[in-house]
Structure 1
């Protein structure tokens, strides 16, 4: 059976790390797509977006986003104008996925990640190395979860969130859409949408700035 041809978008850190997660028995990497044609990759070809429309048989893993651009992930991925069926999900062979876990399309789960019973990871989510997503957690679309994050059971993480590396999220709480959790934060209560949380315990930096300006 011929291998499926794969493009990764964009040529960034997530995309490079995704190479370790792809089963190359099933996929042949054609190269990367990136809007910045000044980028250079010694081992891989970098194409413009045109290739995605010219060759409908190409499958795609789209992993844009960082702490500064995470809230635009939905917009960026939607701009590719691809049917959901063309996206793959890549799970590193050394990730552990438990019983009844649901993982959507265009997700990336890196080495050492653990996702336990009944968790639900929706479309377009990235989970970096050694993070633990406990039972009955729901991670909504377009969210980025850094490395060495622990999300305790029964937690809801909203859409387009960024959970910084080394953070811990308490069980049974919710994190609103578009929230940023800073590196190494301990989140002990529910977080409103678009909050910027940091510290131990985590506090909303937006609220602190407002209080100091009054």
Structure 2
């Protein structure tokens, strides 16, 4: 194991776009970052930080999975938890998280995001920049709301749901496990598990494995 995996600071799993945005969030929040964990670019340097293999994470080391794909996020979180890693939640100082809202371990909330009152974000969920999550919404684990996405109040987003950029999920809707809401779609009806929807109003395109 490379000795620098024991250095103090957060390890970000994923050195791609979301991983670097997670680094931006950490820097803005004053959270020291030790480096990245990425099988594809291990041994390299990204933004001046070392890149190591995820399997090299030391026991007790803090980590955050900075990858958009919920299936990959699930796999990496399970690996890092098994190694004794500790998931950390990051909130950008220019994000707003309202009272009575609970963020699970490993969540990422980027700059300009607004998470309203009495919301629950499950473990390893992501709310990207300028996205909003309305009051009393419940998000399962590994939910992703892409930039500009607008989730209205009292919505249920099940595990591994993705809401695309500038998409809208209207009040009280239910979106099933593994469903994908395409960019700029407007969800006016409940979405079954594993379904991909697009358009305004949103209509099914195909199904994915939930």
Scaled by the length of structure 2, the TM-score of the pair is: 0.87
- The answer on whether the counterparts of 2:109 and 2:129 sit within 8 Å (CA) in structure 1 is yes
Does residue 23 of structure 2 align to residue 13 of structure 1? Answer: no
Q: C-alpha displacement at 1:63, in angstroms?
A: 2.2
- The answer on whether the counterparts of 1:4 and 1:27 sit within 8 Å (CA) in structure 2 is no
Determine which of 65, 69, 88 is the counterpart of 2:68: 65
- The answer on whether the counterparts of 1:92 and 1:109 sit within 8 Å (CA) in structure 2 is yes
For 2:172, the equivalent position in structure 1 comes to 172
For 2:162, the equivalent position in structure 1 comes to 162
- The answer on whether the counterparts of 1:98 and 1:115 sit within 8 Å (CA) in structure 2 is yes
Distance (whole Å) between structure 2 residues aligned to residue 25 and residue 118 of structure 1: 23
**1:104-162, CA deviations, whole angstroms, 9 ceiling, x for partnerless residues?**
10000000100111011111101100111110001110111101111111000010111
Distance (whole Å) between structure 1 residues aligned to residue 38 and residue 198 of structure 2: 32
Distance (whole Å) between structure 2 residues aligned to residue 179 and residue 188 of structure 1: 15
- The answer on whether the counterparts of 1:115 and 1:132 sit within 8 Å (CA) in structure 2 is yes
For 1:211, the equivalent position in structure 2 comes to none
For 1:104, the equivalent position in structure 2 comes to 104
Q: C-alpha displacement at 1:60, in angstroms?
A: 0.5
Distance (whole Å) between structure 2 residues aligned to residue 119 and residue 25 of structure 1: 22
- The answer on whether the counterparts of 1:105 and 1:122 sit within 8 Å (CA) in structure 2 is yes
Does residue 59 of structure 2 align to residue 56 of structure 1? Answer: yes
| Largest Rg, 1 or 2 | 1
Q: Find the residue that maps to 1:18 and give its secondary structure.
A: helix
After superposition, the Cα gap between the structure-2 partners of 1:84 and 1:120, relative to the gap in structure 1 and judged at 3 Å, is farther
For 2:3, the equivalent position in structure 1 comes to none
For 2:124, the equivalent position in structure 1 comes to 124
Distance (whole Å) between structure 2 residues aligned to residue 194 and residue 84 of structure 1: 31
Q: Which runs of 5+ in 2 are unaligned?
A: 1-6
Q: C-alpha displacement at 1:24, in angstroms?
A: 7.2
How large is the RMSD of aligned CA atoms in angstroms?
Answer: 2.2
Q: C-alpha displacement at 1:90, in angstroms?
A: 0.3
Does residue 192 of structure 2 align to residue 189 of structure 1? Answer: no
Q: Which runs of 5+ in 1 are unaligned?
A: 208-214
Aligned length: 200
Does residue 94 of structure 2 align to residue 94 of structure 1? Answer: yes
For 2:200, the equivalent position in structure 1 comes to 200
Scaled by the length of structure 1, the TM-score of the pair is: 0.86
